[in-house]
Structure 1
Amino acid sequence: MKVAAEKAEVRNFRTPTEVREFPQGRLELMEIGGTMVGRATLLPGWRWSTSVKPVAQTKSCQAPHFQYHISGVLHVVMDDGSEFDCRPGDVSLLPMGHDAWVVGDEPVVVVDFQGMVDYAKGPK
Protein backbone atom coordinates (compact mmCIF):
# COMPACT_ATOMS: atom_id res chain seq x y z
CA MET A 1 0.00 0.00 0.00
CA LYS A 2 1.56 3.27 -1.12
CA VAL A 3 0.41 6.50 0.48
CA ALA A 4 1.41 9.75 -1.17
CA ALA A 5 1.15 12.56 1.35
CA GLU A 6 0.65 16.19 0.40
CA LYS A 7 1.60 17.27 3.90
CA ALA A 8 2.82 15.71 7.11
CA GLU A 9 0.12 14.45 9.49
CA VAL A 10 0.16 13.03 12.99
CA ARG A 11 -2.95 11.48 14.54
CA ASN A 12 -3.58 9.60 17.75
CA PHE A 13 -6.18 7.00 18.69
CA ARG A 14 -7.05 9.13 21.76
CA THR A 15 -9.09 11.25 19.33
CA PRO A 16 -10.51 8.77 16.77
CA THR A 17 -12.59 9.85 13.80
CA GLU A 18 -15.20 7.20 14.67
CA VAL A 19 -15.79 4.55 17.35
CA ARG A 20 -17.79 1.34 16.86
CA GLU A 21 -18.65 -0.94 19.74
CA PHE A 22 -19.87 -4.53 19.51
CA PRO A 23 -20.15 -7.38 22.03
CA GLN A 24 -16.79 -7.83 23.76
CA GLY A 25 -15.02 -5.43 21.41
CA ARG A 26 -14.37 -1.90 20.30
CA LEU A 27 -13.04 -0.40 17.08
CA GLU A 28 -11.50 3.06 16.88
CA LEU A 29 -11.02 4.47 13.39
CA MET A 30 -8.89 7.41 12.41
CA GLU A 31 -8.49 9.06 9.06
CA ILE A 32 -4.95 9.96 8.06
CA GLY A 33 -3.39 10.55 4.66
CA GLY A 34 -6.76 10.01 2.99
CA THR A 35 -7.13 6.49 4.39
CA MET A 36 -8.70 4.90 7.46
CA VAL A 37 -6.66 3.03 10.06
CA GLY A 38 -8.39 1.01 12.75
CA ARG A 39 -7.41 -0.13 16.22
CA ALA A 40 -9.49 -3.03 17.50
CA THR A 41 -9.58 -4.11 21.11
CA LEU A 42 -11.11 -7.58 21.51
CA LEU A 43 -11.83 -8.84 25.01
CA PRO A 44 -11.46 -12.43 26.23
CA GLY A 45 -14.47 -14.39 24.97
CA TRP A 46 -14.72 -12.31 21.76
CA ARG A 47 -15.31 -14.36 18.63
CA TRP A 48 -16.15 -12.92 15.21
CA SER A 49 -18.95 -15.44 14.59
CA THR A 50 -20.79 -14.46 17.79
CA SER A 51 -19.77 -10.81 18.29
CA VAL A 52 -19.73 -9.37 14.75
CA LYS A 53 -21.51 -11.88 12.49
CA PRO A 54 -24.97 -10.75 13.70
CA VAL A 55 -24.06 -7.20 12.59
CA ALA A 56 -22.27 -8.16 9.35
CA GLN A 57 -24.86 -10.79 8.37
CA THR A 58 -22.29 -12.79 6.37
CA LYS A 59 -21.20 -16.44 6.70
CA SER A 60 -17.67 -15.43 7.65
CA CYS A 61 -15.71 -12.19 7.96
CA GLN A 62 -15.58 -10.59 4.53
CA ALA A 63 -13.21 -7.77 5.52
CA PRO A 64 -9.64 -8.30 4.33
CA HIS A 65 -7.12 -7.35 7.01
CA PHE A 66 -3.52 -6.16 6.99
CA GLN A 67 -2.74 -5.80 10.66
CA TYR A 68 -0.08 -5.46 13.30
CA HIS A 69 -0.72 -7.43 16.51
CA ILE A 70 0.05 -5.47 19.67
CA SER A 71 -1.20 -7.79 22.41
CA GLY A 72 -3.04 -11.02 23.07
CA VAL A 73 -3.42 -14.13 20.93
CA LEU A 74 -5.90 -14.24 18.04
CA HIS A 75 -6.76 -17.64 16.58
CA VAL A 76 -7.82 -17.43 12.92
CA VAL A 77 -9.64 -20.10 10.90
CA MET A 78 -9.90 -19.46 7.16
CA ASP A 79 -12.90 -20.67 5.15
CA ASP A 80 -10.58 -23.21 3.47
CA GLY A 81 -9.95 -24.83 6.88
CA SER A 82 -6.42 -23.55 7.46
CA GLU A 83 -5.83 -22.05 10.88
CA PHE A 84 -3.10 -20.28 12.84
CA ASP A 85 -2.45 -18.01 15.81
CA CYS A 86 -1.41 -14.36 15.59
CA ARG A 87 0.70 -13.13 18.51
CA PRO A 88 2.17 -9.80 19.66
CA GLY A 89 4.68 -8.51 17.12
CA ASP A 90 3.12 -10.46 14.22
CA VAL A 91 1.95 -8.79 11.04
CA SER A 92 -0.90 -10.65 9.34
CA LEU A 93 -2.53 -10.43 5.94
CA LEU A 94 -5.96 -12.06 6.01
CA PRO A 95 -8.07 -12.28 2.87
CA MET A 96 -11.85 -12.29 3.04
CA GLY A 97 -13.40 -15.46 4.45
CA HIS A 98 -12.37 -16.20 8.03
CA ASP A 99 -13.50 -16.52 11.63
CA ALA A 100 -11.30 -15.55 14.58
CA TRP A 101 -11.37 -15.50 18.37
CA VAL A 102 -9.39 -14.39 21.38
CA VAL A 103 -7.35 -17.15 23.04
CA GLY A 104 -6.78 -16.89 26.78
CA ASP A 105 -7.38 -14.09 29.27
CA GLU A 106 -5.49 -11.21 27.63
CA PRO A 107 -7.32 -8.77 25.34
CA VAL A 108 -6.23 -8.74 21.70
CA VAL A 109 -5.24 -5.35 20.33
CA VAL A 110 -4.50 -4.96 16.62
CA VAL A 111 -3.89 -2.01 14.33
CA ASP A 112 -5.40 -2.66 10.92
CA PHE A 113 -4.31 -0.75 7.83
CA GLN A 114 -6.81 -2.22 5.36
CA GLY A 115 -10.07 -3.83 6.39
CA MET A 116 -11.74 -1.81 9.10
CA VAL A 117 -13.62 0.81 7.04
CA ASP A 118 -16.80 -1.29 6.86
CA TYR A 119 -16.05 -3.61 9.81
CA ALA A 120 -18.97 -4.15 12.23
CA LYS A 121 -21.22 -1.82 10.19
CA GLY A 122 -23.87 -4.16 8.86
CA PRO A 123 -24.84 -4.95 5.27
CA LYS A 124 -24.79 -2.26 2.61
Structure 2
Amino acid sequence: MLLAFLLGGARASCMIGLPTVAQLDAYAYVSDATVAVQLPVTCTPDTPPGSVSLSSAGGQHSRASDQWQGILRAGSDTLNYYVPGYSQLRVQGSTLNVRLVIPAGQWGAPTGTYSDTLDITLSF
Protein backbone atom coordinates (compact mmCIF):
# COMPACT_ATOMS: atom_id res chain seq x y z
CA MET A 1 0.00 0.00 0.00
CA LEU A 2 1.48 3.35 -0.99
CA LEU A 3 1.02 6.33 1.29
CA ALA A 4 1.86 9.98 0.64
CA PHE A 5 1.96 12.63 3.35
CA LEU A 6 1.45 16.40 3.27
CA LEU A 7 2.08 18.87 6.08
CA GLY A 8 -0.22 21.89 6.38
CA GLY A 9 0.24 25.12 8.32
CA ALA A 10 3.37 26.94 9.41
CA ARG A 11 3.02 27.42 13.19
CA ALA A 12 5.24 24.51 14.12
CA SER A 13 8.16 22.66 12.66
CA CYS A 14 7.45 18.96 12.34
CA MET A 15 9.46 15.95 11.28
CA ILE A 16 7.41 13.18 9.72
CA GLY A 17 8.99 9.75 9.70
CA LEU A 18 8.39 6.82 7.41
CA PRO A 19 5.11 5.02 8.01
CA THR A 20 5.04 1.55 9.50
CA VAL A 21 2.42 -0.56 7.76
CA ALA A 22 1.45 -3.86 9.37
CA GLN A 23 1.45 -6.91 7.13
CA LEU A 24 -1.97 -7.70 5.70
CA ASP A 25 -2.73 -11.36 5.27
CA ALA A 26 -4.71 -12.61 2.29
CA TYR A 27 -8.23 -11.21 2.11
CA ALA A 28 -10.65 -14.06 2.91
CA TYR A 29 -14.04 -12.53 1.87
CA VAL A 30 -15.87 -13.89 4.94
CA SER A 31 -14.37 -11.51 7.51
CA ASP A 32 -13.04 -7.97 7.57
CA ALA A 33 -9.32 -7.54 6.98
CA THR A 34 -7.64 -4.82 9.03
CA VAL A 35 -4.27 -3.17 8.59
CA ALA A 36 -2.66 -0.70 10.99
CA VAL A 37 -0.54 2.22 9.81
CA GLN A 38 1.66 4.17 12.24
CA LEU A 39 3.12 7.50 11.19
CA PRO A 40 5.75 9.07 13.48
CA VAL A 41 5.26 12.85 13.88
CA THR A 42 7.59 14.98 16.00
CA CYS A 43 6.85 18.71 16.29
CA THR A 44 8.84 21.63 17.74
CA PRO A 45 7.53 23.24 19.81
CA ASP A 46 5.82 20.16 21.20
CA THR A 47 2.46 21.10 19.65
CA PRO A 48 0.76 18.27 17.80
CA PRO A 49 -1.32 19.08 14.73
CA GLY A 50 -4.90 20.11 15.49
CA SER A 51 -6.54 18.14 12.72
CA VAL A 52 -5.91 15.33 10.28
CA SER A 53 -7.54 14.99 6.87
CA LEU A 54 -7.31 12.26 4.25
CA SER A 55 -7.63 12.27 0.47
CA SER A 56 -7.23 9.75 -2.33
CA ALA A 57 -8.41 9.21 -5.89
CA GLY A 58 -12.05 8.14 -5.65
CA GLY A 59 -12.08 8.46 -1.87
CA GLN A 60 -14.58 10.40 0.21
CA HIS A 61 -15.60 11.17 3.78
CA SER A 62 -18.97 9.70 4.76
CA ARG A 63 -20.32 11.99 7.48
CA ALA A 64 -23.16 9.55 8.25
CA SER A 65 -20.75 6.76 9.25
CA ASP A 66 -17.77 9.03 10.12
CA GLN A 67 -15.54 6.96 7.82
CA TRP A 68 -13.05 7.76 5.14
CA GLN A 69 -14.01 5.46 2.25
CA GLY A 70 -11.43 4.59 -0.38
CA ILE A 71 -10.71 2.14 -3.17
CA LEU A 72 -7.78 -0.26 -3.48
CA ARG A 73 -6.90 -1.07 -7.09
CA ALA A 74 -5.11 -3.88 -8.91
CA GLY A 75 -5.40 -2.88 -12.56
CA SER A 76 -9.14 -2.66 -13.23
CA ASP A 77 -10.02 -4.77 -10.15
CA THR A 78 -11.03 -2.99 -6.94
CA LEU A 79 -11.58 -3.58 -3.23
CA ASN A 80 -13.29 -0.99 -1.04
CA TYR A 81 -11.77 0.01 2.28
CA TYR A 82 -12.59 2.47 5.03
CA VAL A 83 -10.91 4.30 7.89
CA PRO A 84 -13.26 4.31 10.90
CA GLY A 85 -13.52 7.30 13.24
CA TYR A 86 -12.37 9.80 10.61
CA SER A 87 -13.26 12.90 12.64
CA GLN A 88 -11.34 11.52 15.64
CA LEU A 89 -7.99 11.04 13.84
CA ARG A 90 -5.32 12.83 15.88
CA VAL A 91 -1.60 12.61 16.51
CA GLN A 92 -1.33 10.93 19.93
CA GLY A 93 2.01 11.64 21.55
CA SER A 94 4.31 11.39 18.56
CA THR A 95 2.32 8.93 16.44
CA LEU A 96 -0.64 9.09 14.09
CA ASN A 97 -2.39 5.71 14.11
CA VAL A 98 -4.63 4.97 11.13
CA ARG A 99 -6.62 1.74 10.88
CA LEU A 100 -7.78 0.62 7.43
CA VAL A 101 -10.56 -1.95 7.17
CA ILE A 102 -11.33 -3.99 4.05
CA PRO A 103 -14.92 -5.10 4.65
CA ALA A 104 -15.99 -8.71 4.25
CA GLY A 105 -18.23 -9.79 1.42
CA GLN A 106 -16.38 -8.36 -1.57
CA TRP A 107 -16.76 -11.60 -3.51
CA GLY A 108 -15.17 -11.98 -6.89
CA ALA A 109 -12.10 -9.83 -6.27
CA PRO A 110 -9.28 -11.76 -7.96
CA THR A 111 -6.01 -12.49 -6.23
CA GLY A 112 -3.51 -9.69 -6.73
CA THR A 113 -1.64 -6.81 -5.17
CA TYR A 114 -4.05 -3.96 -4.44
CA SER A 115 -2.91 -0.46 -3.52
CA ASP A 116 -4.04 3.11 -3.07
CA THR A 117 -2.21 6.37 -2.44
CA LEU A 118 -3.64 7.91 0.71
CA ASP A 119 -2.63 11.53 1.30
CA ILE A 120 -2.62 12.61 4.95
CA THR A 121 -2.70 16.34 5.68
CA LEU A 122 -1.79 17.59 9.16
CA SER A 123 -3.14 21.06 9.99
CA PHE A 124 -2.31 23.32 12.92
Compute the TM-score of the two structures, normalised by the length of structure 2: 0.33
Bigger proportion of residues as strand: 2
Higher relative contact order (CA 8 A, sep 6+): 2
